[in-house]
Structure 1
Amino acid sequence: MAPAIPLVLLGLTDAAFSGFHAYADTDARIRKQRAVARAALRGLAVGGVLLLAPTLTAVLLLLTARDPARIYGLLSAGGLGYLLPLAVYAAAVLLSLAAYFALPFRGSTLATVVGLGPLTLLRPLAVAACLGSVLNGGGGPALLVGTIAGAAVLCVEPAVHRRWYHHVRWGNLGG
């Protein structure tokens, strides 16, 4: 399944960023590289576990199908349709990150405000990826796997926050 590898890589990358985002604004220290890395690894771990759900769903669909080759074809077509909206989103995020790291302070702040901020709000639009999987000919099997994958990815940040960062309140920063 050709689109499976890029989709898994995108999902795991998003999970790492979700771990970071769950941690963001919970620590007022200036030097916090280790905490940021730990938060990203926590997101990666949670995302890896949650992404087993769509993987197992696809495997079960293939194992229980009367015509596994047909289901495989539907899942491949759906995966490509799912990948296109996510690739556009990922390209926009990478462009914003490149601007953030390459520009001086004012420019990187602008990249965050104009690019990364609004793009975070667009994450729940994983529905577009599900729609893309159906429109590309994936049908019901691709929609099922895609919906489970979208739900899994969107659950990473709340799960990481609830497990490790729920106790942090603004009044606790720095103490």
Structure 2
Amino acid sequence: MTPALPLAALGLVDAAFSGFRAYAGRDARIRKRRGAARAALRGLAVGSVLLLAPTAAAVALLLTAADRSRTYALLAAGGLGYLLPLAVFAAAVLLSLAVYLVLPFRAGTVAIVLGCGPLTLLRPLAVAAACLGALVTGGGWPALLVGTVAGAAVLCVEPIVHRRWYPAPL
């Protein structure tokens, strides 16, 4: 199985959340669903474009490789190693969001502050762990290269959305 589809899905979901985080706290209105949805779509759009970079890197590696099947095997092994830390991180985020949705308002708010707040700060460490996982699982330098480009792409979504659409409070 190729881990490309689950990784792409995780990257796009993360991009949507990054767009939302760029918008969060910028609008003091009570009803701001439309603004939050617009911000998530902006993050998704930016993330979709940025995630073309690791795709291009993987394609370039495959096209220039002397042994394409070996390079593909390295990328697949590295992709699985990249996916594992990110899946654990995504599960922690989903658990925090589930607790927020299930508990009463005050308890849910505490859960989101104690869960998603620190997890947002740990995103770069999760990406670094994913890059290490790509290397350790036998992906070698090709998987590390594609993983690093992918990690840089997802970590750049929020700053780009923030600077482009939300430079000052509304």
- With normalisation by structure 2, the TM-score equals 0.98
Q: CA deviation at 1:167?
A: 2.7
Other-structure match for 2:44? 44
Match of 1:153 in 2: 154
Alignment partner, residue 132 of structure 1? 133
Quote the Cα distance in structure 1 between the aligned partners of 2:64 and 2:76.
17
User: CA deviation digits over 1:52-111, x for unaligned, max 9?
Assistant: 000000001001100000000000000000000000000000000000111101210121
SS in 1 for 2:138: coil
- Corresponding residue for residue 20 of structure 1: 20
| Equivalent-residue separation in structure 2 for 1:2 and 1:53 (angstroms) | 18
Alignment partners' CA distance in 2, 1:124 and 1:5:
21
The answer to whether structure 1 residue 113 and structure 2 residue 113 are counterparts is yes
Give aligned-pair identity as a percent.
75
Question: What is the CA distance between 1:112 and its match in structure 2?
Answer: 1.0
CA distance in 2 between partners of 1:113 and 1:46 (Å): 26
Q: Partner of 1:91 in structure 2?
A: 91
Structure 1 distance, partners of 2:65, 2:163, is 38
Structure 2 gaps of 5+ residues are none
Aligned match of 2:166: 165
Residues 137-174 of structure 1, C-alpha deviations (whole Å, 9 max, x = no match): 00000000000000000000000000000132xxxx5x
- Structure 1 residue runs without a partner (length 5+): none
Cα deviation, residue 10, structure 1: 0.2
What TM-score comes out, normalization by structure 1 length?
A: 0.95
- What is the alpha-carbon distance in structure 1 between the residues aligned to residue 44 and residue 86 of structure 2? 18
> What CA RMSD, in Å, does the superposition of the two structures yield over aligned residues?
0.8
* In 1: Cα distance, 2:40 partner to 2:167 partner: 16
Counterpart-to-counterpart distance in 2, 1:41 and 1:113: 23
What is the SS of the residue equivalent to 1:167?
A: coil
3-state SS of 1:28 partner: coil
Q: Secondary structure at the match of 2:168?
A: coil
